């Protein structure tokens, strides 16, 4: 579905940003006027325009808060947080050496933290023990009664931020009486940026300490714990749940079976063979041509170099190779919901492959273009997505 841009990457990211309006993360008029000022494929203009609106809203939020207008301040800070994230999205050429990228990420986190202090329901910042360090998280509570409730453990995937997880899932969960523990793990945004931790395919070693922490919270119902993984996180969540038996249910949003085969399908077969065989002398120049021709390919490979710690685009692709569900997904035992999106051509067939491999109680939920929910991870259709998924969870947890 084309949204405001012909460039596929710009179109999807604009839709992603606009879709967060469902939970106060955007305003449609702001999105339209911002995108109007961005020429097709112009990454410098993308950064400039989204940064400008984010800065303006941060100033509005500060003024509103100083005047005692808490709701206005909260709403402005939430939109600023999302727009700062959007402004930084395509700045992937040298994340570690780009002070402006670091500033944008910091501003996105700070404005969300300022908004969280103004929520009508409690929000608890977390540092979750993980090996000899910690992982950042937020515990979003449905109320302040201390009552035990079903609790979602939610993580993102290849590029989502901790703060964005509120707009993706927590906003809808809170309205339905769920608590949500959202976190970032190795390779993900602030953990990669501030702690230098890279993605690891054995995600169970990340999720198990988070479960341990969740069960120390008096608000968590230990019999109604749900794992929820978004995008690439759908693969990671399936892997984790195969080794962690304390979940009452698992949601794969969306289902992905093999994160190496997916990008290889997008390049010529001979180029995929060169990458796999380590023939980087020819694979590197060929990938450089593809990167010059496609915003999406360039972003995927440059971001992959950062999150996997790879030095070249071929290395970034090969780093994806261990990220699959071979010999693991069939060990998942809790009821599992696999989501699919009709328009998601990049991951076409992946959800069905996951669903077929599962041996537990399982459901496949397909979102269609006709209902406006056919994009990857149902971007732009938050209400329909939440209605179907949380109704499914309500029914499964009631049976447990």
Told to judge if 231 belongs to the known catalytic residues of this protein, a careful annotator would answer yes
pLDDT at res. 399: 75
Q: 12: which residues sit within 8 A by CB, 6+ positions away?
A: 3, 375, 376, 379
Contact 129, 209 (CB under 8 A): yes
Label residues 19-37 b or e (16+ Cβ within 10 Å = b). bbbbbbbbbeebbeebbee
Q: How far apart are CA 184 and CA 233, in angstroms?
A: 11
Catalytic option among 81, 108, 224, 231: 231
Q: How far apart are CA 80 and CA 281, in angstroms?
A: 43
Q: 325: which residues sit within 8 A by CB, 6+ positions away?
A: 235, 238, 239, 242, 257, 258, 354, 357
Please tell me the number of Cα atoms within 13 Å of 147 on its side-chain side.
Answer: 8
Chain segment 166-208, per-residue pLDDT in tens: 999 999 999 999 999 999 999 999 999 999 999 999 999 999 9
Please tell me the number of Cα atoms within 13 Å of 157 on its side-chain side.
Answer: 25
- Considering only CA atoms, which of 336, 338, 343 is closest in space to residue 376? 343
Which two tokens mark 354?
């996951």
Q: Which residues of the chain have pLDDT under 70?
A: 400
Q: How far apart are CA 106 and CA 58, in angstroms?
A: 13
* Local structure of 222: helix, strand or coil: strand
- Estimate the crossing angle of helix 43-66 against helix 99-116, to 10 degrees: 30
- DSSP run (H or E) holding 20: none
- Considering only CA atoms, which of 142, 141, 137 is closest in space to residue 154? 137
For 360, phi then psi, to 5°, come to -90, 180
pLDDT at res. 400: 66
Which two tokens mark 24?
């106060």
What the chain holds in terms of domains, given with CATH numbers, is 1-118 (1.20.1440.110), 121-259+323-400 (3.40.50.1820), 261-319 (no CATH)
Which two tokens mark 232?
């690439």
pLDDT at res. 102: 98
């Amino acid at each position: 579905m084309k949204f405001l841009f012909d460039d596929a990457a710009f179109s999807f990211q604009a839709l992603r940003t606009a879709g967060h309006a469902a939970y106060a993360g955007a305003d449609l008029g702001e999105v339209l006027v911002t995108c109007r000022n961005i020429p097709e494929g112009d990454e410098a203009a993308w950064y400039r325009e989204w940064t400008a609106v984010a800065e303006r809203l941060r100033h509005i939020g500060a003024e509103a808060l100083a005047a005692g207008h808490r709701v206005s301040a909260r709403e402005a800070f939430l939109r600023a947080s999302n727009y700062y994230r959007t402004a930084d999205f395509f700045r992937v050429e040298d994340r570690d050496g780009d002070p402006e990228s670091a500033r944008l990420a910091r501003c996105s986190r700070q404005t969300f933290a300022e908004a969280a202090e103004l929520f009508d329901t409690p929000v608890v910042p977390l540092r979750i023990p993980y090996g000899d360090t910690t992982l950042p998280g937020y515990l979003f509570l449905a109320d302040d009664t201390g009552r035990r409730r079903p609790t979602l453990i939610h993580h993102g995937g290849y590029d989502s931020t901790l703060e964005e997880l509120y707009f993706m899932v927590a906003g809808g969960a809170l309205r339905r009486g769920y608590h949500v523990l959202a976190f970032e793990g190795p390779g993900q945004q602030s953990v990669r940026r501030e702690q230098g931790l890279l993605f690891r395919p054995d995600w169970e070693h990340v999720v198990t300490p988070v479960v341990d922490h969740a069960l120390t919270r008096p608000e968590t119902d230990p019999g109604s714990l749900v794992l929820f993984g978004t995008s690439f996180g759908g693969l990671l969540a399936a892997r984790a749940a195969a080794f962690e038996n304390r979940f009452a249910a698992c949601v794969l949003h969306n289902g992905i079976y093999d994160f190496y085969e997916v990008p290889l399908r997008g390049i010529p077969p001979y180029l995929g063979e060169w990458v796999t065989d380590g023939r980087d002398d020819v694979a590197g120049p060929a990938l450089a041509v593809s990167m010059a021709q496609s915003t999406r390919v360039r972003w995927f490979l440059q971001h992959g170099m950062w999150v996997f710690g790879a030095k070249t685009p071929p290395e970034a692709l090969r780093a994806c190779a261990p990220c699959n569900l071979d010999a693991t997904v069939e060990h998942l035992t809790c009821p599992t919901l696999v989501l699919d999106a009709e328009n998601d051509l990049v991951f076409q067939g992946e959800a069905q492959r996951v669903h077929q491999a599962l041996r537990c109680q399982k459901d496949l939920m397909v979102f269609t273009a006709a209902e406006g929910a056919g994009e990857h991870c149902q971007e732009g259709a938050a209400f329909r997505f939440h209605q179907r998924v949380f109704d499914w969870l309500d029914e499964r947890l009631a049976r447990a």
